[in-house]
C-alpha cells in the first residue's frame, strides 16, 4: 500500500547535536558528560538521539520512566541507561534487574524493592533542596542504603541558571552525601550547572536542554547551536482583500490586499495559540509572520516577503529556542516537548 506524505517535518541536525554534546563534555572539565534523553529526548526522538550521541562517545543516558528505557536497550549498552524515577513496583525492579539498566533509587521503599529484586548496580538520588524525588541526608544512614551497589550518587540543582546562594548550599549538601555513602561516581550539574564551575561537576554531568539547542544561561549563548526545526507544508495560497478578517474571532484584519498561505501546523502539533499574531515561518531569508489565531490543525501566514511560494512548498518555523521562548512565553523545554506526534521522528 502506498503511504501518504506527511505534511509536517521535524528536521534534526545530528551533527549539531553531537557538536553540542562535545562542547558540554569539554566544559565539564575532568567530568564526563552524559545526556538526559527523557521524554523521547525532549520530544526529538530518543532512538535517533541516543544513536548519534553514543557514536560521538556518550556513555550515560538518563530517562525518566522505566518504559522509556526498553526501546533504547538495543542501541547502547544497557548499563549506560539510568532511570531517574526508579522502580515503582516489583515488576519495574525485576525489569531493570533483567535488562541490566540502572534504576535511580529515590526512597527507602525503592531501595527495598531493588534489594528484593536481587539488587545490582544502581544510582542514588539525594535531595539537596529541590524537594522533589530523592532521599534526605538523614535517611542515608539506613542499612538499606548501605546494602546498595551505587554507581552514581546524584542530586539535582533547583536554580542552576540563576546566581543564587542556593546553588552553593545544594553543592555542599551533595558533597556531604558523598562523604556519607559509598559510590563510584558523583553527579550534580545539569546544562546550566556545568557553567557553575568544577565544584559542581563531580565525575558525571547530566546536560539536557543545551544538547537540543536550548540556552539556559547566558554563558552558553555562544556555545550552543540550534538542533531542531519544525517544518510545515503550504496547503493553500490565497489572496485576501483589504478589510478581510483572517482566522477565528477576526483578530487580524488585512490592511491591504495580501497574499497569504495556509500551512498544516496548529496547536494540536504543539504550535500553541501563544504564537497567534507573534510567530513566524521562514523561507530562506524571508520571515513570514503568523496572521490571526493559530487553529488546531492550521495556521495562516503572510507571504508578502516570499510571493513565489506555492501550494506544496515548505516553510520552517522560526524556532531558535531562546528567542522563541521570549516571543511565545513558553519555556525552552515546553517548545520541544509539546511538539505533537504528527511530526515524523
Q: What is the pLDDT of residues 310-344, one digit of tens each?
A: 999 999 999 999 999 999 999 999 999 999 999 99
Q: What pLDDT, on the 0 to 100 scale, is given for residue 3?
A: 83
Per residue in 53-85, pLDDT tens?
A: 999 999 999 999 999 999 999 999 999 999 999
Judge whether residue 265 has pLDDT over 90.
Answer: yes
Residue-averaged pLDDT of the chain: 97
What is the tens place of the pLDDT at every residue in 153-162?
Answer: 999 999 999 9
pLDDT, tens only, 129-169? 999 999 999 999 999 999 999 999 999 999 999 999 999 99
Please list the residue range(s) of the chain that carry CATH number 2.40.37.10: 229-319
What share of the chain in percent tops pLDDT 90? Answer: 98
Q: Assess whether pLDDT exceeds 90 at residue 345.
A: no
- Domain ranges in the chain with CATH number 3.20.20.10: 9-220
Residue 276 has pLDDT above 90, yes or no: yes
Overall average pLDDT of the 105-111 stretch: 98
pLDDT grade, residue 87 (50/70/90)? very high
Integer Cα distance of 265 and 271 in angstroms:
7
User: Cβ neighbours of residue 238 under 8 Å, at least 6 residues apart?
Assistant: 259, 260, 261, 262
Q: What is the mean pLDDT of residues 188-207?
A: 98
3-state secondary structure of 122: strand
Please return the burial class of 209, using the count of CB atoms within 10 Å of its CB with bins 0-12, 13-18 and 19+.
Answer: buried
**Which grid coordinates belong to 194?**
556545568
Which of 38, 42, 212, 271 is an active site residue?
38
Could you read off the pLDDT of 218-235 as tens digits, one per residue? 999 999 999 999 999 999
Q: What is the pLDDT of residue 42?
A: 98
**Which residue is catalytic, options 212, 248, 259, 278?**
248
Q: What is the pLDDT of residue 138?
A: 97
Whether residue 259 lies in the annotated active site = no
The region that residue 253 occupies, defined by phi over 0 for left and psi between -120 and 50 for alpha, beta otherwise, is beta
Query: Thinking of the domain 229-319, which architecture would CATH place it in?
Result: Beta Barrel (2.40)
Assigned fold of 9-220: TIM Barrel (3.20.20)
Is 248 an active-site residue?
yes
Amino acid at each position: 500500500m502506498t503511504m501518504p506524505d506527511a505534511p509536517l517535518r521535524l528536521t534534526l541536525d545530528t551533527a549539531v547535536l553531537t557538536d553540542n554534546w562535545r562542547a558540554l563534555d569539554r566544559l565539564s572539565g575532568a567530568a564526563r558528560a552524559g545526556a538526559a534523553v527523557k521524554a523521547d529526548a525532549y520530544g526529538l526522538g530518543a532512538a535517533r538521539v541516543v544513536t548519534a550521541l553514543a557514536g560521538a562517545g556518550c556513555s550515560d543516558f538518563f530517562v525518566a520512566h522505566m518504559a522509556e528505557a526498553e526501546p533504547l536497550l538495543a542501541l547502547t549498552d544497557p548499563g549506560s541507561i539510568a532511570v531517574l524515577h526508579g522502580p515503582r513496583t516489583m515488576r519495574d525492579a525485576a525489569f531493570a534487574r533483567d535488562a541490566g539498566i540502572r534504576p535511580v533509587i529515590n526512597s527507602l521503599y525503592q531501595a527495598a524493592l531493588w534489594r528484593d529484586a536481587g539488587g545490582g548496580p544502581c544510582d542514588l538520588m539525594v535531595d539537596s533542596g529541590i524537594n522533589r524525588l530523592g532521599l534526605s541526608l538523614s535517611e542515608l544512614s539506613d542499612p538499606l542504603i548501605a546494602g546498595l551497589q551505587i554507581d552514581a550518587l546524584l542530586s539535582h540543582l533547583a536554580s542552576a541558571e540563576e546566581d543564587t546562594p542556593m546553588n552553593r548550599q545544594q553543592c555542599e549538601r551533595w558533597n556531604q552525601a558523598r562523604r556519607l555513602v559509598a559510590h563510584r561516581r558523583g553527579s550534580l550539574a545539569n546544562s546550566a550547572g556545568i557553567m557553575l564551575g568544577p565544584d559542581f561537576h563531580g565525575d558525571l554531568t547530566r546536560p539536557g536542554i543545551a544538547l537540543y539547542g536550548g540556552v539556559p544561561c547566558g554563558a552558553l549563548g555562544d556555545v550552543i547551536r540550534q538542533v531542531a526545526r519544525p517544518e510545515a507544508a503550504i496547503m493553500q495560497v490565497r489572496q485576501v482583500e483589504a478589510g478581510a478578517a483572517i482566522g477565528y474571532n477576526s483578530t487580524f484584519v488585512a490592511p491591504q490586499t495580501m497574499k497569504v498561505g495556509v500551512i498544516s501546523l496548529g496547536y494540536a502539533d504543539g504550535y500553541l495559540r501563544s504564537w497567534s499574531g507573534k510567530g513566524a515561518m521562514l523561507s530562506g531569508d524571508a520571515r513570514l509572520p503568523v496572521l490571526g489565531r493559530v487553529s488546531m490543525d492550521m495556521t495562516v501566514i503572510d507571504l508578502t516577503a516570499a510571493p513565489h511560494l506555492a501550494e506544496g512548498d515548505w516553510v520552517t518555523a522560526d524556532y531558535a529556542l531562546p528567542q522563541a521562548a521570549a516571543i511565545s512565553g513558553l519555556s525552552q523545554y515546553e517548545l520541544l516537548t509539546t511538539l505533537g506526534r504528527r511530526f515524523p521522528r
